[in-house]
Amino acid sequence: MRRAGRRGGPRPAVDAAARELAIDHVEIRRRNFIQPDRFPFKTPCGNIYDSGDYPAVLDKALDMAGYAELRRMQAEAGQQGRYIGIGLATAHQRSVYGPTEFWFWFDEPGAPVTSTPESVSLKVDATGGITAILYSCAFWGNSPETMVAQLVAEEFDCSPYDVSVAYHGSRDGLPATGPGGSRTTVMLAPR
């Protein structure tokens, strides 16, 4: 078994392609990004990426990591017979699901369905007390109740401490997708 960092060891496919095509490891990634002038970009699967500047993000990350200096140190070590590995990975992770991914829940939706059914109902009692009831919102440590209390307080010009937040039971609520990418905030916050 080869140790990590040794020449000829296992490499990601993109790095193997870069080596075979004699393209810099950073450049091959840059060429495969959706370029800023191509947004909005529709993927073959139908998802639409609305915006991004992936080359700029990569440049910033390389600069913050001191990538050029790391490569210089790597070349210097190589001349001394030592090998230094430098890892580079790029990834894109969505924060919310596409608008059609959960339409299968409905034969005929009662209202236009835009995505999964995170929602809030508000009740104002006779004394002006506000209760926000969360539907289909996951609450595994991501504290949507804090975010909802703040949003409601902004709309009603009151303190978030004056807003009570409760979760609706699963009996009447639709299934939720779980937390991820600040999903509840994205779906509930005003645009």
Cα 148 from Cα 76, distance rounded (Å): 54
Nearest to 8 by CA among 77, 83, 76, 80: 83
pLDDT value, residue 134: 84
Tell me the chain's radius of gyration from C-alpha atoms.
24
92 close to 160: Cβ distance less than 8 angstroms: no
pLDDT value, residue 2: 37
Question: What is the set of domains in the chain, with CATH numbers?
Answer: 13-79 (no CATH), 103-188 (3.30.365.10)
pLDDT value, residue 137: 73
User: Which tens digit of pLDDT belongs to each residue from 75-102?
Assistant: 999 999 999 888 888 887 665 555 455 5
Most distant CA pair in the chain, distance:
80
Question: What ranges make up the beta strands (E) of the chain?
Answer: 41-42, 48-49, 119-124, 130-135, 163-167
pLDDT value, residue 176: 60
Please give the mean pLDDT across all residues of the chain.
80
Tokens of 181: 């990418």
Tokens of 96: 């919310």
pLDDT value, residue 103: 52
pTM (2 d.p.): 0.49
Burial of 108 (0-12, 13-18, 19+ CB in 10 A): exposed
Share of the chain above pLDDT 70, in %: 70
Cα 150 from Cα 157, distance rounded (Å): 10
pLDDT value, residue 37: 95
For β-strands 48-49 and 119-124, DSSP reports them as unpaired
pLDDT value, residue 100: 52
What's 165's DSSP letter?
E
For β-strands 119-124 and 130-135, DSSP reports them as antiparallel
Residues with pLDDT less than 50, the chain? 1-6, 99
